[in-house]
């Protein structure tokens, strides 16, 4: 008999934390898994975990997904009916210098999760892909029907591989899988290596903000509450047999790109301080613009993004001030 609890991998991470918290608020039982690595400050991960541990129905397992035996043991013990797989080694730039970390977490770890789902009766696997799979594409907005054969970073390549491997498992073993191409998620409890967090910290501390391509970059900034709502709508909505496999992929984005210079200006206003800007050329593995076509997600779930960049950034700044006692 499948367990009624939902496995959320990466539960101490940014998106995983928010998804786990929302599931718990709905009265669901959640098993959170994380390896608590030091890619960024583990104190922030532990603080998120402290919030989750106060919720009824939450249990935590510190496991590295590349540890095959531990993952197998967890799945055999629980036989999860639903798995939300958000754990990954993140970051485009980090992948240039640390390739093996991405292979271990995003490829080996992903296959271990799929094997757990396959052998232990999982009814639906929802997993994180990334907008980075669109790579060198120039057609905007990015549609899930676009070709994604030109990744320009190893991180992007591992996320594309996740989609392909998930589809093969879905086809071979009738495992329902849903991949989510997240577009630049930001908000409270966010990741310190991402733009909004980095910009805010720099403005507060009076250190330079590094703006690549001289700030002429546009990103489809997606507020965490919107992204979380999309995940929750899909958890119990397993895909049907499209193209011979119960597999779907969706864009999860705000459907509106914002210029980085505008994001900085909004943060300056929210913080009441001017930014020191360091204008730099493009760097390897980056793209000029991301823009999500979310029509399929809207059609299938009724989801529409609701948070403007101004409201989202105000909320992030309020959290940042509170968390860091500024």
Report H helices in the chain: 14-25, 42-53, 68-78, 92-97, 99-102, 109-119, 154-173, 195-205, 224-235, 260-271, 295-301, 309-323
Q: How far, in Å, CA of 85 to CA of 33, rounded?
A: 9
The residues that are catalytic are: 155
Q: Which residues neighbour 185 within 8 Å (Cβ) at sequence distance 6 or greater?
A: 14, 15, 222, 223, 224, 227
- Sheet with 177-182, edge to edge strand ranges: 58-62, 30-34, 3-9, 80-85, 124-130, 177-182, 247-252
């Amino acid at each position: 008999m499948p367990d009624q609890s939902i496995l959320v991998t990466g539960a101490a991470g940014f998106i995983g934390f928010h998804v786990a918290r929302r599931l718990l608020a709905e009265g669901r039982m959640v098993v959170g898994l994380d390896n608590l690595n030091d890619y960024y400050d583990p104190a922030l991960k532990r603080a998120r975990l402290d919030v989750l541990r106060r919720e009824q129905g939450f249990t935590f397992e510190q496991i590295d997904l590349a540890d095959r035996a531990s993952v197998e043991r967890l799945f055999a013990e629980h036989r999860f009916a639903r798995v939300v797989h958000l754990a990954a080694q993140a970051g485009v730039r980090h992948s240039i210098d640390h390739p093996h970390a991405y292979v271990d977490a995003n490829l080996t770890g992903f296959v271990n999760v799929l094997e757990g789902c396959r052998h232990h009766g999982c009814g639906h696997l929802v997993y994180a892909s990334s907008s980075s799979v669109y790579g060198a594409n120039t057609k905007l907005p990015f549609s899930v029907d676009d070709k994604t054969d030109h990744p320009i970073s190893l991180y992007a390549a591992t996320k594309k591989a996740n989609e392909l491997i998930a589809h093969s498992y879905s086809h071979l073993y009738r495992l329902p899988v849903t991949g989510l191409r997240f577009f630049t998620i930001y908000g409270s409890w966010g990741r310190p290596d991402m733009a909004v967090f980095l910009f805010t910290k720099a403005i507060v501390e009076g250190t330079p903000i590094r703006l690549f391509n001289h700030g002429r970059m546009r990103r489809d900034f997606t507020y965490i509450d919107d992204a979380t709502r999309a995940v929750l709508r899909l958890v119990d909505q397993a895909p049907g047999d499209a193209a011979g496999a119960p597999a779907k992929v969706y864009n999860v984005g705000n459907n509106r790109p914002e210029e980085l210079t505008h994001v900085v200006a909004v943060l300056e206003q929210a913080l009441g301080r001017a930014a020191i800007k360091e204008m730099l050329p493009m760097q390897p593995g980056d793209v000029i613009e991301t823009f999500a076509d979310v029509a399929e997600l809207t059609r299938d779930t009724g989801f529409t993004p609701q948070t403007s960049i101004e409201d989202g950034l105000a909320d992030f700044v309020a959290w940042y001030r509170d968390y860091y006692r500024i």
